[in-house]
Structure 1
């Protein structure tokens, strides 16, 4: 068996929304199809992948550097020991051939997107959901079929007032979420506190709010927000400062005793390890948001999970950024704490397979081969168009 072709298409996911740092008016992503010569039900097995929102499509980088390495490799060098399936670790090593360490920014997104498509193909060839394959290979064989999810939204939007913000959050609560997230840092502290109060006013018992500053604050501002939000008992205070400013994160813990979250903009095991070593993160309450689609894929994520275990962290403290089904499968298969969800944004790439319902902020994984993209009709139409 072999990889016949890998295709990429850059697609828009533009929107007038903004967070504290960027707007999404020109946002794109890369959609990738890994086409194999394995035939199931009369059709070639195709693995699909795409990168998370917040980073742009990487088609040019893929075509110039990474895809030629796969095309030039001997097909048998990319197979597992049985010779009956692809080996994601060997493929990853081929993609990374002749790359220097460090400098993880854009190439980590390109490799992570290809890696997602490879794992989708591997699980489909094996004829099992990816979460089951991961539980069998790297876990205890029993996946967590029920996965915690929270609804991410609350972006700044032209003309959006507090009433509209509350309506948005109510819509998530009505759909079964008990934890919702909103943006802060794109307005003044007083305005953000008013917005927070407006959302808290509609929450019932058992419902919680996260806030996300998207790395906007310097230390003084981060502390000012921490002191003002301390009485709110938020689910978490996310990415207060620059993601690589570990000293800021470590200092902030002295002013904020409630849970904090960060990590979505760390794109390698080494950067994640520096956060654990130097960022003052607390394994009894804080949350880690590393996103495999942006950080070299699942092959690298497995290394990150090994590192966390060595440092006394549980995988259950990881709730990845991105809102995609790849991380949902990893959460179910490897025991992560849950996954982000975009019920309305970045469609058709966000959300779950059709018919999957959110109940008290949990979803039950369906029995779909691979990552399960085929179960989401609007998304699968885009994927089929690429691989046809």
Structure 2
């Protein structure tokens, strides 16, 4: 059993939208195919992966360092003890060879993308959905077949007035979501409060709103928003300041009693540990948004979950960023609190397999081998092109 080839393509996911920090007009991602010599049901097993939005494609790093390391390794060093499957942990160690600790920047995205493809292949070789494989290996064997999801949107773009913002959010609610998210920090506070109130005005019973500043605020601005937002029953106040400014995050708890969320731009277990040590996050109400596709993959995410347990956190307080099916499988298999979703944006990489619908804020996981990419026709067409 061995990996025959690893392919990467850099693809556009550009969109004329912006948050408080960046616009997405030139956004790209890497799509990866890990081609194995294993055949299941008459077809060669190929694992697929891609990185989340907000970070760019990582093809150069993959081709220069990470792909050669795997292909040059002894194939026997990359399989499990029984020789029956690839071993994601051994492959991860191979990827990280000659990498110094620290500096968890773009390389964490490159490795995370390849790690996703490896886990997809591993579950396909085992002949089970990834969420079941994870529940069997790291849980009690029984996955959560129903997973909470929320709809992320509410970006700024030219000509988007309050009526258009309301129409966007109504569209998510009409499709079964109970929690929606919008951006803040890209307009003056008074304007953002009008935007928030316009969305709150269309929510029904049991429906909630999250707001996301994308790390834009300094301390004074973060506190000013915290004071103003405290009047609203928000689901959470997300990423007020720079993701590595743990003091800012810790100070905010004195000004904002409601739930806060952050972590999507922390790319290692060590950075996640610093957040829970020094960021003042409260395990009874706050949410952690670490995204495996950006932070060295599921192998590292398992280390992060172990660390969280040691610090008194439940995995159910994790709702990953990214809106991809990898995190959806992790949520179902390892008991996370849910997953982000992009119903209309960053297609075809966002969303669920065809036929999977949101009902009362939850989706039910389909029985598809691996991560389930083949069940989403428009996405699998892109993957098929890369692998063919």
TM over 0.5: yes
Partner Cα distance (1:70, 1:356) in 2: 35
2:288 is the counterpart of 1:288: yes
Task: Give the Cα–Cα distance (whole angstroms) in 2 for the partners of residues 29 and 82 of structure 1.
Answer: 35
Partner of 2:122: 122
CA distance in 1, matches of 2:112, 2:226: 33
**What residue number does 1:349 align with?**
349
2:279 and 2:132 mapped to 1: Cα distance?
33
Deviations 1:174-194 (A, max 9, x none): 000000000000000000000
Aligned ranges for residues 43-192 of structure 1 at < 5 Å?
43-192=43-192
Deviation for aligned residue 1:42: 1.6
Q: Secondary structure at the match of 1:231?
A: coil
3-state SS of 2:100 partner: coil
2:240 aligned residue: 240
What do residues 21-68 of structure 1 show as CA deviations (whole Å, max 9, x unaligned)? Answer: 000000000000000000112221000000000000000000001011
Aligned length: 388
Residue matched to 1:387? 387
Displaced runs of 4 or more, over 4 A: none
| 1:208-227 → structure 2 map (5 Å cutoff) | 208-227=208-227
Which position in structure 1 is the counterpart of 2:251? 251
SS at match of 2:170: helix
- Give 1:308 deviation, angstroms: 0.0
Give the equivalent residue in structure 1 for 2:204: 204
Equivalent-residue separation in structure 2 for 1:341 and 1:162 (angstroms): 22
What is the TM-score of this pair, normalised by structure 1? 1.00
Deviation string, structure 1 residues 192-212 (Cα, Å, up to 9, x no partner): 000000000000010000000
Query: Structure 1 residue 372: deviation in Å?
Result: 0.2
Structure 2 residue aligned with 1:371: 371
CA RMSD of aligned residues (A): 0.3
Unpaired segments of 5 or more residues in structure 1?
Answer: none
- Alpha-carbon distance in structure 2 between the residues aligned to 1:3 and 1:38: 9
- Stretches of structure 2 that go unaligned for 5 or more consecutive residues are none
The alignment partner of 2:332 has SS state of helix
